[in-house]
């Protein structure tokens, strides 16, 4: 018996959905050194995991969590120094990206997205019937602020989405340029700050205080090292957050994730120390990588990852490194970054394993 669904039924699925591709990380293989997803190399210390055990046993698994985790929201508002009602918490910042789409993006709405940028944003816009307006980066991969301002004047977008530092390029946008864009935008400016803890330009919260059209997205997956828990949050003026609550799915943050988030916010010293370690390890990785024979280019970074290019085909090089038990990311999915691979800065031993594997492979 065939299990294929008749085409007439598949045609009932919205065309915008059928035209998209699922977000799947390519080239994933089980290896000893995993440096392909910009994760923190540091797990929770055993002492903190033991501290969580008591909270784990207090959870009533048969009861729904709070629709919004009130204690975590209050802690995040205190962490950010914003007034009550300014924070929305989600199951990772990716879920909040789709909440933005439900709230703001309708048929034909223009949404300006500098490119290359995290691919989920353009997909979200298309899925909600919007019209992505991509603006190409400069030859040095920095955001082209003048081109963005021209596109704003021409298109009058409902949303402008900025990522600083940007994934996949690793570069921060100068705050003076962000402010110029905010002033010019007729609608909201969404600032993705997934890597803000590594950003030498500093965070954009002060811009939110001055401009009502700013929305900031953050995650606990990177510097906080909680990628496996799926916690993200959005910061905006309370009136905006109140409206976004209407488009947000309920019960998206479970009780355990809330407890872990609260725990890490109580241990900001640990997060700070780890950020400093990651910055140091990333700079050391960069300094060594540029010296390796066969590496043609390494881009500067304001994040915990590096882009590099060799004369070898990136797909072949990725597989050769994976054969040596090291996994990195092929950036060929972004036309501007064809030929580049991306490596996340890991622990010193992980970085050494990558550098040794790369050196041996390029001989």
Check whether 274 has a pLDDT greater than 80: yes
Select the more confidently predicted residue: 49 or 236: 236
- CATH among 3.90.1150.10, 3.40.50.2300, 3.10.20.340, 1.20.1250.20 for 7-45+269-362: 3.90.1150.10
Using 50, 70 and 90 to split pLDDT, how confident is the model at 131? very high
H/E stretch holding 80 reads helix 70-80
Using 50, 70 and 90 to split pLDDT, how confident is the model at 71? very high
Residue 188 has phi, psi (to 5 degrees) of -85, 150
Q: What is the pLDDT of residues 86-104, one digit of tens each?
A: 999 998 888 999 999 999 9
Task: List where CATH 3.40.640.10 sits in the chain.
Answer: 60-266
Task: List where CATH 3.90.1150.10 sits in the chain.
Answer: 7-45+269-362
How many C-alpha atoms does 331 have within 13 Å on its Cβ side?
Answer: 24
Task: List the structure tokens of 27.
Answer: 């080239």
**Which CATH architecture fits 60-266?**
3-Layer(aba) Sandwich (3.40)
Residue of 119, 135, 96, 108 lying closest to 16 (CA atoms): 108
Q: Can you tell me the distance from the alpha carbon of 225 to that of 2, in angstroms, rounded to the nearest whole number?
A: 45
Q: What is the pLDDT of residues 318-340, one digit of tens each?
A: 999 999 999 999 999 899 999 99
Measured CA distances, 343 to 15, 16, 308, 331, 332 (Å): 35, 33, 8, 10, 14
Q: What is the pLDDT of residues 235-265, one digit of tens each?
A: 999 999 999 999 888 777 888 889 999 999 9
Residue of 312, 328, 360, 304 lying closest to 27 (CA atoms): 328
Instruction: Provide mean pLDDT across the span 296-304.
Output: 96
């Amino acid at each position: 018996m065939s299990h294929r669904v008749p085409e007439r039924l598949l045609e009932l699925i919205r065309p915008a959905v059928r035209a998209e591709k699922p977000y799947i990380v390519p080239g994933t293989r089980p290896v000893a050194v995993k440096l392909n997803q910009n994760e923190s190399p540091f797990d929770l210390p055993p002492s903190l995991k033991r501290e969580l055990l008591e909270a784990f046993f207090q959870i009533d698994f048969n009861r729904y969590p709070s629709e919004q985790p009130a204690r975590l929201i209050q802690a995040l508002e205190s962490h950010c120094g914003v007034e009550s009602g300014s924070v929305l918490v989600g199951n990772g910042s990716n879920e909040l990206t789709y909440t933005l789409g439900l709230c703001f993006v309708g048929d034909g709405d223009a949404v300006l997205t500098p490119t290359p940028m995290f691919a989920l944003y353009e997909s979200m816009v298309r899925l909600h019937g919007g019209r992505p307006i991509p603006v190409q980066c400069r030859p040095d991969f920095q955001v082209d602020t003048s081109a963005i301002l021209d596109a704003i004047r021409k298109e009058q977008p409902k949303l402008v989405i900025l990522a600083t530092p940007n994934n996949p390029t690793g570069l921060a946008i100068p705050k003076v340029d962000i402010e110029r864009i905010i002033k010019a935008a007729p609608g909201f400016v969404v600032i993705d700050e997934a890597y803000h803890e590594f950003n030498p330009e500093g965070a954009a919260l002060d811009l939110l205080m001055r401009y009502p059209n700013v929305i900031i997205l953050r995650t606990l997956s990177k510097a906080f090292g909680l990628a496996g828990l799926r916690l993200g949050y959005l910061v905006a003026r309370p009136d905006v957050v109140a409206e976004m609550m209407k488009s947000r799915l309920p019960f998206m943050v479970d009780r355990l994730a809330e407890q872990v988030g609260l725990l890490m916010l109580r241990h900001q010293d640990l997060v700070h120390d780890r950020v400093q370690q990651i910055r140091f390890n990333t700079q050391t990785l960069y300094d060594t990588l540029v010296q390796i024979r066969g590496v043609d280019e390494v881009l500067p970074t304001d994040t915990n990852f590096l882009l590099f290019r060799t004369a070898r085909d990136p797909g072949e090089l990725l597989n050769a490194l994976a054969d040596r038990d090291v996994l990195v990311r092929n950036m060929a999915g972004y036309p501007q970054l064809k030929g580049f691979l991306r490596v996340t800065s890991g622990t010193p031993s992980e970085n050494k394993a990558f550098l040794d594997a790369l050196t041996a492979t390029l001989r």
